[in-house]
Structure 1
Amino acid sequence: MQQAWTLIIAALVGIALGRRDIQDLMAHVRSELDPASGRVSAGSITFPARTDGHFWVRAEANGAQMSFLVDTGASFVTLSHADARRAGLRLDSLSYVLPLVTANGEVRAARVTLDVVRAGPLAVRDVPALVPERDPGVSLLGNSFLSRIGGYQVSQGQLTLHAAR
């Protein structure tokens, strides 16, 4: 009986709010439960800093969902081995010839191009990216994506990515 009342109340709230308001409410609930999914508003998406001060973004690369650590100091989007596979890349066919100097020392990487990287309402096509030979274990959202959107800002513990105009 309690489930029936819950459904009736939910239906009445839905009718009162309207479809768009329900979508906004669900997006807000989703962003609270999963901060990396972001909070979308009018051509931008906002992410709260985690307790360690870093920003994580749940995005898609070649249609595959993955989590990226935002790294404004990284020249390129960089994929972990697991995320590269999810994006449809065959690691055994990549050419690891590009020498990189990272915080963890020197490593070789393969250059790849991602068809599209999408974060909420933002989509960038033909994104240059790297796959390091040694698995970094984390994917980075670097400047090959960030420099091609409308901009970004960090304020009061929030990162906002803006769509290009």
Structure 2
Amino acid sequence: MTNDWMLGSLYLLMAIMLVAGSLISRREKFAKLATIALAWIAIFGAGFVLFSFRDDLSYVAQRLKAEATGDPVVEGQEVRIPMAIDGHFWIDAQLNGQKVKFLVDSGATMTTIGRDVAEAAGVTVNDGRTQVVRTGNGMLRVATGRADELSVGPINRQNIGLHIADREELNVLGMNYLSSLERWGVEGRWLILKG
């Protein structure tokens, strides 16, 4: 920490000396010299900021892209999902290799998909609708099933239990997936999932 401070101070001192030296060698009016000095200070300040945050600039670019497109930012085993305009977190996941759009819902106990999605993804579905679940739209009877694989970016889970709803078009990524993660939480306008 002390070395970083010393290097920063040395850099700043060199910048001030360079600006001061160039101003002393000129014989201009004070207003023009002050303008030039401020321009040099701004140039060196921008250089200092770029140099100091050079490792974080790629993350800034990823974040700007995510904000513009809604795509998650993936770094290793961490996925950062930007909040959608509707205030929810949506993610494209892979269910048995099939691309499925999920609403991330920490209020849902189980991950739930529609029957059409289950058929398209080859999910094993138990006969009958044996479970009753409470949703925002009231009580709903659902079947149970298991997916061989459910992946959100690089975070992959095997043999995931599911609820299958007959007439639901909304797929919900629930707590049975979220609780299997090393860490998850909301930071500002981002949902962070860490595998």
Task: Choose between structure 1 and 2: higher helix proportion.
Answer: 2
Task: Please name the residue that 2:164 is paired with.
Answer: 131
Task: Please name the residue that 1:158 is paired with.
Answer: 190
- Structure 1 length-normalised TM: 0.73
Native 8 Å contact 1:98 1:109 kept in 2? yes
Task: Please name the residue that 1:111 is paired with.
Answer: 144
Greater Cα radius of gyration, structure 1 or 2: 2
Q: CA deviation at 1:124?
A: 0.8
Q: CA deviation at 1:150?
A: 1.0
Native 8 Å contact 1:76 1:144 kept in 2? yes
Cα distance change of structure 1 residues 149 and 54 upon mapping to structure 2, 3 Å threshold: same
**Which consecutive unaligned segments of at least 5 residues does structure 1 have?**
1-23
Equivalent residue for 1:50, pick from 52, 68, 84: 84
Task: Please name the residue that 2:106 is paired with.
Answer: 72
Native 8 Å contact 1:64 1:86 kept in 2? yes
| CA distance in 2 between partners of 1:97 and 1:104 (Å) | 19
Task: Give SS of 1:79's match.
Answer: strand
- Give the alignment of 1:17-56 within 5 angstroms: 28=62, 31=66, 34-35=69-70, 37-56=71-90
Task: Please name the residue that 1:145 is paired with.
Answer: 177
Supply the AA of the counterpart residue of 1:107. L
Task: Please name the residue that 2:133 is paired with.
Answer: 100
Q: CA deviation at 1:149?
A: 1.2
| CA distance in 1 between partners of 2:65 and 2:152 (Å) | 15
Q: CA deviation at 1:82?
A: 2.9
Native 8 Å contact 1:124 1:149 kept in 2? no
**Which consecutive unaligned segments of at least 5 residues does structure 2 have?**
1-57
| CA distance in 1 between partners of 2:69 and 2:119 (Å) | 23
Q: CA deviation at 1:107?
A: 1.4
| CA distance in 1 between partners of 2:137 and 2:130 (Å) | 18
Native 8 Å contact 2:67 2:82 kept in 1? no
- Structure 2 length-normalised TM: 0.63
